[in-house]
Structure 1
Amino acid sequence: MTESTILAISGSLRADSHNTQLLRAAQKFNPGGLEIGIYEGLRDIPAYDFDLDTPDRRPAAVDELRRRVTEADGVLIATPEFNYSIPGVLKNAIDWLSTDWTRTEGVPLRHKPTAILGAGPGAFGTVRAQLALRQIFVCVDADVVVKPEVHVFQSNDRFDADGNLVDEATIGLVQGLLTALKDKIDAKG
């Protein structure tokens, strides 16, 4: 059986981010059939610039991200919540991934099987950020997993001192989300 490739993107730049740790947990608790690679270059993506958004003018970091999303069978995004929404660096990356002004190369996120999860220290986790992200993906026409929703609230209590996800209920939700993402990829055939 061939494994489906997943590009996992954390919307946080923090070294000890619970969202990045959530993606590491997805790798660790992978229910099978998925090869999950974590994207490490979000910090290198420059601010979106329409004047540079053509195949011959895009910055190298943007080309690399677009290539990796295009080649992946699916995308897994872990988003923190900033001011009731997603971080600017994540929105910026999505802006670069949602265009094809020349109509020659395709839109990397269009129809791409995509799953969303997030962790936050508050009582609501990342509910509002994930809602904002889902609205963006409607416009982008990504093929988003609807359920299960994985909102890791009070995330400080769900990870140990070494950054390992230790909450069994959350582990089960992550596995369920990955299974749903795999099912969506398999259904595309």
Structure 2
Amino acid sequence: MTDNTVLALVGSLRNGSTNRQLAEAAAHLAPNNSQVVIFEGLADIPFYNDDIDVPGSVPAAAQRLRDAALDADALLLLTPEHNGTIPAVLKNAIDWLSRPFGEGAVKAKPAAVIGTAYGQYGGVWAHDDARKSLKIAGANVVEEAKLSVPGSLVRFAEQHPKDDSEVSAQISEVLETLLGAVNEKVAA
């Protein structure tokens, strides 16, 4: 039986994405009594628009995202850095999850942001921007749960992140910290 579910949202739509591989590693490394579920379908969600966010007629792809987030105990966002910030697809997902304002699917939900990027800092600007957006959307961002892996294309050229002992240990630590926040929320 699984006690805690972490919903993973991957900000890269690219085949062979190293951030997708990080999400796969997180799913593989999920502690006992938990699971990491990678959401499929971010590319299908229309850009957020109040005119189409109408109760009873929310686009199906956006509703699937909201339902998945509501069913999850925590969120794990995995993002590369696009032009110094988060990819539009991930920002769009946060926008959909933030509504209805003050009552969105991420309200008070523990969340963490990790990722990898080609550059020497591993996408920290994008990770910081994602955390900022999640906070504004109402999520409980777990600041201690961080991981920015630099040099992604070289580091993971011949090895999946789950087979990299250093990265695996760091992902496991992020998951333990995030799930600890879930358990604190339940105990409160």
Provide the TM-score with structure 1 as the length reference.
0.92
**Contact residue 48 and residue 95 of structure 2 kept, 8 A:** yes
**Contact residue 148 and residue 173 of structure 1 kept, 8 A:** no
Q: Does 1:121 align with 2:118?
A: yes
Q: Does 1:16 align with 2:16?
A: yes
Identity, in percent, stands at 38
Q: Does 1:139 align with 2:121?
A: no
**Contact residue 25 and residue 162 of structure 2 kept, 8 A:** yes
**Which amino acid letter does the alignment assign opposite residue 167 of structure 2?**
T
The DSSP-based 3-state class of the residue aligned with 1:13 is coil
Distance 1:19 1:128 in 2: 15
Worse-superposed segment, 154-163 or 127-136: 154-163
Q: What do the CA deviations read for 1:139-189 (whole angstroms, capped 9, x no partner)? A: 112111111420011112332536443332211111000001110111111
Q: Does 1:176 align with 2:176?
A: no
Distance 1:60 1:35 in 2: 24
Structural mapping, 1:37-56, within 5 Å: 37-56=37-56
The DSSP-based 3-state class of the residue aligned with 1:165 is helix
**Which amino acid letter does the alignment assign opposite residue 133 of structure 1?**
A
Aligned position for 1:150: 147
Task: Provide the aligned length of Structure 1 versus Structure 2.
Answer: 186
Q: How far does residue 50 in structure 1 lie from its aligned partner after superposition?
A: 0.8
**Contact residue 22 and residue 115 of structure 2 kept, 8 A:** yes
Distance 2:156 2:50 in 1: 40
Aligned position for 1:33: 33
Which segments of 5 or more consecutive residues in structure 1 lack a partner in the other structure? none
Q: Structure 1 residues 148 and 57, CA, compared in 2 at 3 Å: closer, same or farther?
A: closer
Q: How far does residue 64 in structure 1 lie from its aligned partner after superposition?
A: 0.7
Distance 2:145 2:13 in 1: 25
Distance 2:19 2:148 in 1: 11
Q: What do the CA deviations read for 1:40-73 (whole angstroms, capped 9, x no partner)? A: 1011001111111122221011111101101111
RMSD between aligned residues: 1.6
Q: How far does residue 125 in structure 1 lie from its aligned partner after superposition?
A: 0.8
Which segments of 5 or more consecutive residues in structure 2 lack a partner in the other structure? none
**Contact residue 159 and residue 165 of structure 1 kept, 8 A:** no
Worse-superposed segment, 38-47 or 153-162: 153-162
Worse-superposed segment, 176-185 or 46-55: 46-55
